[in-house]
């Protein structure tokens, strides 16, 4: 079966599941979307948040990019896809929570750790983009100077989530929503090696399992 045929059959299953068996859901969705959550995830094909979290259409407003990064607020940016999506989710959709979800074996973070892209070439979009996570790598290299490459990569995957959470707080509309108690921020990590989902605990200053392992 070709890729296109597989997609068509997948849509047929989708239509049967939702339009045939849950018609009331799409009657509601035709009137507009009201997701309570903005989820910022990686564009890695192994980590589709809707699949991982068992979401129905309309459950989450999703932004996906290389390494699930959030750039700091910069009014001089003219083409700010991630920032505009965040603004739309917070100001227009009034989401109650933002989740930054990273994952194990992230190619973007690996490229940062292994310095695969310099970002010097004007067309090196990847190199300039992953520099957003440079503070995470700097921290890891100081704290884990003798760690293996894989250990540094995983530590950087976790630390980069915290960098993105910190960057979220540089947006004025997020600051306002946080101050008003209308918004919460969360850092999650999907460990695809162990099939585990972890959440950052500020109290423990660590990522802790959200589901007991069988």
For residue range 165-202, what is the model confidence (pLDDT) as tens digits?
Answer: 999 999 999 999 999 999 999 999 999 999 999 999 99
At residue 214, the pLDDT reads 60
Evaluate whether residue 174 is within a structural domain: yes
Summarize pLDDT for 50-96 with one digit per residue, the tens.
999 999 999 999 999 999 999 999 988 877 999 999 999 999 999 99
Same domain for 139 and 95: yes
10 is in which domain, residue-wise? 1-32
At residue 110, the pLDDT reads 95
Same domain for 66 and 12: no
| CA–CA gap between residue 139 and residue 84 (Å, rounded) | 29
What contacts 97, CB < 8 A, 6 or more positions away?
A: 36, 37, 38, 183, 184, 185, 186
Same domain for 141 and 48: yes
Evaluate whether residue 105 is within a structural domain: yes
* 87 neighbors 175 (Cβ within 8 angstroms): no
Full-model pTM:
0.94
What is the number of domains present in the chain? 2
At residue 118, the pLDDT reads 74
Summarize pLDDT for 110-164 with one digit per residue, the tens.
999 998 877 678 888 999 999 999 999 999 999 999 899 899 999 999 999 999 9
Same domain for 8 and 93: no
pLDDT band at 20 (very low <50, low <70, confident <90, very high): confident
Evaluate whether residue 214 is within a structural domain: no
* 157 neighbors 106 (Cβ within 8 angstroms): yes
Distances (CA, A) of 124 to 67, 72, 96, 131: 16, 20, 35, 11
CB atoms within 10 A of CB 61: 22
Same domain for 113 and 16: no
CB atoms within 10 A of CB 68: 32
């Amino acid at each position: 079966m070709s890729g296109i045929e597989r997609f068509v059959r997948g849509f047929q299953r989708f239509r049967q599941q939702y339009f045939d068996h849950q018609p009331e859901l799409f009657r509601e969705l035709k009137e507009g979307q009201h997701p309570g959550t903005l989820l910022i995830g990686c564009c890695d094909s192994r980590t589709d948040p809707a699949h991982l979290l068992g979401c129905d259409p309309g459950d989450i407003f999703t932004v996906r990019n290389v390494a699930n990064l959030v750039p700091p607020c910069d009014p001089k940016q003219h083409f700010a896809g991630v920032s505009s999506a965040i603004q739309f989710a917070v100001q227009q959709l009034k989401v109650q929570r933002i989740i930054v979800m990273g994952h194990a074996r992230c190619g973007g973070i690996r490229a940062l750790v292994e310095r695969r892209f310099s970002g010097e070439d004007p067309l090196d979009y990847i190199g300039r983009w992953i520099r957003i996570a440079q503070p995470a790598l700097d921290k890891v290299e100081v704290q884990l100077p003798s760690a293996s490459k894989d250990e540094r990569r995983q530590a950087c995957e976790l630390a980069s989530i915290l960098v993105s959470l910190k960057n979220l707080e540089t947006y004025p509309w997020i600051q306002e929503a946080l101050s008003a108690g209308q918004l919460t921020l969360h850092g999650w990590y999907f460990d695809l090696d162990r099939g585990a989902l972890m959440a950052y605990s500020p109290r423990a200053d660590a990522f802790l399992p959200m589901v007991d392992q069988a």
